[in-house]
Structure 1
Amino acid sequence: MSVAIHTSQNVLLEYEPASVGERIMATLIDYLIFIGWVLVVIFLPVSIFNVNMSTFYVVLVTLPILFYDLICEWQLNGQSLGKIAMDIRVVMLDGSQPGLGGYLIRWLLRLIDTRMFGGLVAIIAIAANGKGQRLGDMAARTTVVKTKPKVALEDITYQVLPETYAVRFPEVRFLTDRDIQIVREAVRRGNNEVAERTAQRIKDVTGIQTDLSARDFLKNVIDDYQALAARE
């Protein structure tokens, strides 16, 4: 199973849902942050400075823990600090970024998902759902995905070009390394729709006109970009 992600270049890529283990590790990291916060603002002042803690103060300092997930995911593009550490984030099922309402629904149902029965409800839901969703995700139509797609050896190595290689499309100089990464990903996936959309986007950006097939064009773009970069 994969989740479709629309990049800022309007190219469709597929990302893997985060595993149960990755989500548990992200949650544990967040819990460690909670423990550190409580130690700093409650236990250390009491034990070292003999500070008298009022009920109001205790409630006040626990509010960040209560709203931590909601605020982090809303302000950090679907990530808590634990999710950032694990390279995972919350997205809508169509790959778009959730709004505040989506994050709010996930947060409200977190009590049932992760606080009751030691998170067993969430684990069962994610394992059984097939889309990496706990109950909060199902209600909000979100899921949690890995922020980086799988990378194979052919994705990070380049074909050795002959010294006599002739650049066919010099307009590729207008592209960036990030653009070429997307082109390589589109070629690797072998999906005709992705290749067509990526090729059209590259043509729109560079003004290139060609009758080559989408995949052949994209491969040519990669080689041309590599050749031009080597000559600079």
Structure 2
Amino acid sequence: MSQLSITTTQNVNINFNTANPGERALAYIIDAVIIYAYYLVVFEVIFPLTGIQDFVATLDPWSEMAVYGLGGLPVLFYALLCETFLDGQTVGKMLMKIKVIKIDGYQAAFGDYLVRWLFRIGEVTPPMSIIGLIAMIINKDDRRLGDIAAGTAVISLKSDVTINHTILREIDSNYIPVYPMVIKLTDNDMRIIKETYDSSYRQADFEMMEKLKNKIETVTGIKSVSQSATTFVDTVLKDYNYYTQNM
């Protein structure tokens, strides 16, 4: 299992274990089973029971293809919709505990998932799967071509994430704090913030990190500079450490 090192805009290094080709392949197989089950339910159960199948039989070939194509649309967009609404996961990825993230430390957006989805046709869908597999094997971060184009990676949520900064770490003597208003927070506040921060990192839960950032801003009155939620919370932790060490 290789590691993906992300350096944020504030030079904070975060190391994630990347999902290996085997984990991704198993996630794909699980999703394929779900898709197959969908086809069985829709075309072998719902269509006959509702009379749609008899209706389709009366149509010309092109119209028949259109109806069946319409019924298969959820399958076509399955990966794109799941990753968009499940924060970088399909059902298969959830069960395998892997997730899509941006390699710059930000939450992946719809456009990123769209790029990955567009590349699926040429490197994931059988028999072209060998292309994606080769790309992951030769890429040090186990990224397929769609990940490279979208600036994303698939990480494993099973292993602990190593972060080289905590509230207990000694601050460099030349460290310059950014948010003096962190002194409004108590040690108990910082304990909760740190626990939430660490938990969010372990799960790559950028939505929770954003909520944590908003809560800190509300309580302290801090107006963050142009930073991601991850970098902002990290800065708050370091600033609090700085001020408590120098009081």
TM-score by length of 1: 0.65
Q: Is the 8 A contact 2:48 2:54 kept in 1?
A: no
Q: Distance in 2 between matches of 1:100 and 1:119?
A: 23
Secondary structure, counterpart of 1:115 in structure 2: coil
- How many percent of aligned residue pairs carry the same amino acid? 31
Q: Name 1:131's counterpart in structure 2.
A: 141
Secondary structure, counterpart of 2:124 in structure 1: helix
Residues 1:41 and 2:42 are matched in the alignment: yes
Q: Is the 8 A contact 1:88 1:145 kept in 2?
A: yes
Matches within 5 A, 1:191-206: 201-202=236-237, 204=239
Q: Name 1:23's counterpart in structure 2.
A: 24
Secondary structure, counterpart of 2:186 in structure 1: helix
Residues 1:113 and 2:123 are matched in the alignment: yes
Q: Is the alpha carbon distance of 1:183 and 1:131 closer, same or farther for their aligned partners in structure 2, counting shifts above 3 Å?
A: closer
> Structure 2 regions of 5+ residues with no counterpart?
57-63, 163-184, 202-231
Q: Is the alpha carbon distance of 1:111 and 1:199 closer, same or farther for their aligned partners in structure 2, counting shifts above 3 Å?
A: closer
Secondary structure, counterpart of 1:117 in structure 2: coil
Q: Is the 8 A contact 2:79 2:90 kept in 1?
A: yes
Q: Distance in 1 between matches of 2:45 and 2:31?
A: 20
Q: Distance in 2 between matches of 1:107 and 1:149?
A: 26
Q: Is the 8 A contact 2:16 2:161 kept in 1?
A: no
Secondary structure, counterpart of 1:131 in structure 2: coil
Secondary structure, counterpart of 2:75 in structure 1: helix
Q: Distance in 1 between matches of 2:69 and 2:196?
A: 48
Secondary structure, counterpart of 2:143 in structure 1: coil
The alignment's C-alpha RMSD in Å is 3.6
Q: Distance in 1 between matches of 2:161 and 2:188?
A: 25
Secondary structure, counterpart of 2:15 in structure 1: strand
Q: Distance in 2 between matches of 1:95 and 1:203?
A: 18
Q: Name 1:98's counterpart in structure 2.
A: 108
Matches within 5 A, 1:170-189: 171-176=186-191, 179-180=194-195
Secondary structure, counterpart of 1:96 in structure 2: coil
Q: Is the alpha carbon distance of 1:95 and 1:149 closer, same or farther for their aligned partners in structure 2, counting shifts above 3 Å?
A: farther
Q: Is the alpha carbon distance of 1:61 and 1:205 closer, same or farther for their aligned partners in structure 2, counting shifts above 3 Å?
A: farther
* Letter of the 1:74 counterpart: T
Q: Distance in 1 between matches of 2:141 and 2:54?
A: 49
Shift of 1:181: 6.9
Q: Name 1:209's counterpart in structure 2.
A: 244
Selected match of 2:155 from 136, 145, 149: 145
Shift of 1:206: 8.2
Shift of 1:110: 0.5
- Report the more deviating stretch, 92-101 or 45-54: 45-54
* Letter of the 2:145 counterpart: L
Secondary structure, counterpart of 1:25 in structure 2: helix
Q: Is the 8 A contact 1:90 1:143 kept in 2?
A: yes
Superposed CA offset, 1:104-149 (max 9, x none): 1111110111114251111111010111111111211211111343
* Letter of the 2:101 counterpart: V
Q: Is the 8 A contact 1:172 1:206 kept in 2?
A: no
Secondary structure, counterpart of 2:153 in structure 1: strand
TM-score by length of 2: 0.61
Secondary structure, counterpart of 1:3 in structure 2: strand
Residues 1:74 and 2:109 are matched in the alignment: no
